[in-house]
């Protein structure tokens, strides 16, 4: 079962970006900018708009505000042209009640920034990041991690991260192999439980949403099992529903982790996009 962000929600986000780009354009100066490289140094030149003389002048480095505004203006225009096109396509899909992954808008809009030269990127505030930069920022966000007891065995994933069990290593290595970004034991708050640390927080880059994964590895123990079922109930009452933004795996003395089924679950949830 695939999860796609509702088209209405995609259109709402797109409308916000369009409004932001429109406001940005409204206060930008007339004229345009072009770049030239001279002996490895980037030089900026100003060009008048709608000028029969095509007047140009060198922009000094101390005119950073003008450089930033002109480059941002060029980005805004490109962004709006494509955003309006995608908006019409999404409205058509909505009328026909067709679902489509949010990557339909994220990927092309993010590519506008991704395709800029490094000299232009440093002056632009993008509305939509390319996947690679979005993932980089998502992984870099700081959070408080749980500590390991001195007597705990040191179990490392292929990425060199320490986890608490061999099963968690298997799970983490599977994410890495399939290219699914993840964070280990990132805290969240659940109704009636307060702060908890899900085993893994995963990034669905297609929809740019997070998915939590809890692995319950001692289901043969009655007390553990009762606590696990209560915790699952707290997840659901807090708005996390199995199969969409909450994944669950089980293990016990008489039931080993089904890696084949887990692989199929991940492919269905993360690697399907239309």
- pLDDT tens for 116-138 read 999 999 999 999 999 999 999 99
153-161 average pLDDT score? 94
So where are the chain's domains? Answer: 7-127, 139-270
For residue 239, pLDDT beyond 90:
yes
Mean pLDDT of 179-203: 96
pLDDT at 131: 97
Q: Say whether pLDDT at 147 is over 60.
A: yes
Tokens of 165: 């069990």
Task: Calculate the average pLDDT of the chain.
Answer: 92
Q: What is the mean pLDDT of residues 45-71?
A: 82
Q: Which two tokens stand for residue 214?
A: 């809890």
- The pLDDT score that the predictor gives to residue 1 is 52
């Amino acid at each position: 079962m695939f999860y796609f962000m509702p088209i209405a929600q995609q259109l709402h986000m797109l409308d916000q970006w369009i409004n932001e780009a429109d406001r940005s354009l409204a206060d930008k100066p007339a004229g345009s900018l072009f770049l030239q490289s001279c002996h490895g140094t980037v030089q900026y030149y100003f060009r008048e708009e709608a000028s029969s003389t095509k007047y140009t002048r060198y922009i000094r480095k101390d005119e950073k505000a003008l450089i930033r505004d002109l480059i941002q203006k060029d980005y805004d225009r490109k962004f709006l042209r494509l955003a309006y096109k995608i908006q019409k396509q999404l409205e058509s899909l909505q009328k026909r009640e067709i679902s489509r992954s949010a990557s339909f808008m994220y990927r092309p809009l993010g590519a506008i920034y991704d395709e800029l030269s490094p000299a232009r990127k440093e002056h632009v505030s993008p509305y939509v990041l390319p996947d690679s930069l979005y993932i980089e920022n998502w992984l870099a966000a700081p959070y408080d991690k749980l500590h390991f007891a001195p007597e705990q065995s040191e179990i490392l994933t292929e990425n060199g991260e320490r986890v608490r069990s061999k099963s968690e290593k298997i799970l983490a290595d599977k994410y890495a192999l399939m290219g699914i970004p993840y964070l280990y034991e990132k805290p969240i708050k659940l109704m009636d439980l307060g702060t908890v640390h899900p085993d893994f927080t995963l990034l669905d880059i297609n929809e740019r949403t997070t998915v939590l994964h809890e692995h319950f590895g001692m289901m043969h123990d009655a007390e553990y099992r009762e606590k696990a079922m209560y915790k699952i109930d707290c997840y659901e009452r807090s708005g996390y529903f199995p199969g969409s933004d909450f994944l669950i795996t089980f293990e016990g003395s008489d039931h080993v982790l089904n890696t084949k089924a887990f692989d199929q679950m991940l492919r269905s949830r993360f690697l399907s996009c239309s």
